[in-house]
Amino acid sequence: MSEATRNLPRLGPELVAGLPRAVRRPAYDRKALAAGMAHLGVGAFHRCHQAEYTDDLLERSFGRWGVVGVNIRNPRLAPSLGSQDGLYTRLTRQDDSVEARVVGSIVKVVDSQESSAPALAVLSSPDIEVVTLTVTEKGYCHKPASGQLDLNNPDIVHDLEHPDLPRSVPGILARALDRRRRSHGKPLTLLSCDNIPSNGEILAKAVGALAARIGDALPDWIAHNAAFPSSMVDRIAPATSPADTAMVAQRHGYRDAAVVVGEPFRQWVIEERFAGRFPRWDRVGASFVDDVAPYEILKMRVLNGAQTTLCYLGVFAGHEHTCDDMKDPLLVRFVRRMLTEETLPTLGPVPGISAERYVEQSLERLRNTAIKHRNHQIATDGSQKIVQRLLNPIRERLRRGQDVALLSVAVAGWMAYLVRASDRFGSAWSADDPYAASVAAIAGRAGDDCQALASAILGLDAIFDAELASSPVFRAAIVRGLQGFLAGDPMAYLAHVCERPGGAQLNLATGTG
């Protein structure tokens, strides 16, 4: 931090009234705002999305929906949001234009990294009636291929043995629900906002498994007093960079340790199934619907599918961010073909949305040059993302006897990314994925033999179910992709795939190209 920046005032309640006019500020009396809900996993996404919707709602019709932000994993919230009384600046950026707003909906933050006790105190409080969650895909401790709780996950093993000292998200929620049952008995809505299909059901199942271990009448109480609606959330909000923080200081003259940056677009579709009172986010742009599935499938397969595909191909091409990938005509050509030729036909009707237009709109969003979303950030935890983004459409197409050559290139991209991160392949970068070590071990054993590599990676059954792993068509496409990305020039391989009419056509009977 420069000397000049260090001397600037820090964002906090005293500063709000004196904020420059260019910065929008909470238009309600924050001092009168009571906490009515909690959020688990306060990162850039929550601050750019749910907290902003809540800020809009408080402006429109003030009510008791202040948010208590809770982190059970790093980063700690006290030094950033905590020391600013929950206030932070949310920038939205589109190419050269920037809009700044101070959001006031988070009224308190609680760090619960060392022990679950502080989190449990918040979640079991009678004042809290809704809990929203962004804990990343792996926070649910499920097997992505099946949606079942992963009983080998170390935190789940721990929580099943010590349900009174939980560490995992489902373990903490089960314990909190038990405390509610034993004390005031007030209902609770647990609203998942992570990019997992049927996220409400996955959460309910995970919490249910741990609640059954706590025993007594807890599962029955949960059935009558808790709701786990599914929701689809959308806004591209990369990790904040030092340049974003510096921008606030330079343009607006104050220091803020919790700045977030997002694109202008935002969307929130919520299954209308609540256990008690709930914030009327539908009054400020969110949609309450009976069935979230068509929206989440569209978003995960198209927008997220494109992001995941581009992040691996982009790293191979030497690009840093999604917006850089989108300046590379070959990558754009590939991703557009994959989406239109293979992904689009797997989508059912989505009320009020044209899927074709959605593809173009998504590609347009990814072009936004002000959103510096690092390829390596999106590549993080790819094993938890590829099922809903790439493998589910592949599965559906294979069942219908359709080609999967292009989607398989993207899956091979994920594999090659982890393989190239391993010692055996020169540790090209460090990969952050729960399966990075397994794939590195496989790479060490298989060496340059892409057949052996493909077979062993497809054997990871938490990711690839048996039917998919045994498809000769899929397997052959993966082998070709691995050869293309590991043996020669990855971009020459991609160009070759793109040149072929109708994608890399496969002989469906033999799976050969």
User: Among 129, 150, 234, 325, which residue interacts with ligand CS2 (rule: CB under 6 A)?
Assistant: 234
CA end-to-end span of the chain, whole Å?
A: 55
Residue from 109, 127, 125, 90 nearest 11 by CA: 90
Rounded to the nearest whole angstrom, what is the least distance from the CB of residue 200 to ligand CS2 in the complex? 17
CA distance 151 to 158: 10
Whole-angstrom CA distances from 379 to 262, 386, 411 are 19, 10, 12
DSSP-derived letter for residue 284 is: G
Using CB atoms within 10 A of its CB, is residue 349 exposed (0-12), middle (13-18) or buried (19+)? exposed
SS3 423: helix
d(CA 66, CA 503): 51
For ligand CS2, the closer CB: 28 or 45? 45
142 near ligand CS2, rule: CB under 6 A: no
- Distance (Å, rounded) from C-alpha 439 to C-alpha 19? 51
Q: Is the CB of 124 or the CB of 384 nearer to ligand CS2?
A: 384
Interface with ligand CS2 (CB under 6 A), residue from 138, 181, 235, 395: 235
Q: Which is nearer to ligand CS2, 25 or 389 (CB)?
A: 389
Is the distance from CB of 130 to CB of 188 less than 8 angstroms?
Answer: yes
Shorter beta-carbon distance to ligand CS2: residue 181 or 321: 321
The answer to the question of residue 296 lying near ligand CS2 (CB under 6 A) is no
Among 169, 173, 210, 378, binds ligand CS2 (CB under 6 A): 378
Name which position in 84, 116, 153, 304 contacts ligand CS2 (CB under 6 A). Answer: 304
| Residue 200 half-sphere exposure toward CB, CA atoms < 13 A | 23
Select 236 or 410, whichever has its Cβ closest to ligand CS2. Answer: 236
Using alpha carbons, select from 258, 234, 370, 252 the residue that is nearest to residue 307: 234
The span from the CA of 349 to the CA of 352, in Å, is 9
The piece of 116-124, 232-240, 270-278, 449-457 that touches ligand CS2 (CB under 6 A) is: 232-240
Alpha-carbon distance of 444 to 419, in angstroms, equals 9
- Of 382 and 484, which CB lies nearer to ligand CS2 in the complex structure? 382
Binding mask 188-227 for ligand CS2 (x = CB under 6 A): -------x--------------------------------
Q: In this structure, are residues 269 and 295 in contact, taking their beta carbons and an 8 Å threshold?
A: yes
From 1-9, 26-34, 228-236, 445-453, span contacting ligand CS2 (CB under 6 A): 228-236
- Identify residues 77-116 at the interface with ligand CS2 (CB under 6 A): none
Spacing of C-alpha 435 from chain mean position:
17
Shortest CB 382 distance to ligand CS2, Å: 9
How far apart are the C-alpha atoms of 332 and 327, rounded to whole Å? Answer: 8
CA 263 → CA 95, 306, 310, 497, distances in Å?
9, 16, 18, 32
Site for ligand CS2 in 156-195 (CB under 6 A): 195
Give 180 or 235: the residue with its C-beta nearer to ligand CS2: 235
- Cβ proximity to ligand CS2: between 321 and 385 the closer is 385
Stretch that binds ligand CS2, among 84-92, 105-113, 231-239, 445-453 (CB under 6 A): 231-239
In angstroms, give the least distance from the CB of 289 to ligand CS2: 18
Q: CA-based diameter of the chain, in Å? A: 70
Q: Determine the Cα–Cα distance for residues 160 and 132; give it in Å rounded to an integer.
A: 24
Q: With left for phi above 0 and alpha for psi between -120 and 50, is residue 138 left, alpha or beta?
A: alpha
365 or 475: CB nearest ligand CS2: 365
Q: Which of these ranges, 93-101, 230-238, 252-260, 467-475, lies near ligand CS2 under the rule CB under 6 A?
A: 230-238
Q: Which of these segments, 166-174, 217-225, 377-385, 400-408, binds ligand CS2 (CB under 6 A)?
A: 377-385
- Asked whether the CA dihedral 460, 464, 466, 469 is positive or negative, the reply is negative
Kindly state the smallest distance separating residue 13's Cβ from ligand CS2, in Å: 30
Q: Is residue 385 a contact residue for ligand CS2 (CB under 6 A)?
A: yes
Rounded CA-CA distance 169/76 in Å is 17
307 binds ligand CS2 (CB under 6 A): yes
Distances (CA, A) of 476 to 249, 450, 492: 53, 10, 19
Residues in CB range of 17: below 8 A, 6 or more apart: none
Q: Quick one: which segment of 73-81, 96-104, 233-241, 342-350 binds ligand CS2 (CB under 6 A)?
A: 233-241
Query: Does 245 engage in binding with ligand CS2 (CB under 6 A)?
Result: no
Please, what is the minimum distance in Å from the beta carbon of residue 136 to ligand CS2? 9
The single residue among 119, 236, 270, 407 that binds ligand CS2, judged by CB under 6 A, is: 236
Q: What angle do CA 100, 66, 141 make, to 5 degrees?
A: 95
Phi first, then psi, for residue 368 (nearest 5°) are: -50, 110
Query: Quick one: 238 or 503, whose CB is closer to ligand CS2?
Result: 238
CB closer to ligand CS2 out of 226 and 269: 269
- What residues make contact with ligand CS2 under the rule CB under 6 A? 195, 234-236, 304, 307, 377-378, 385
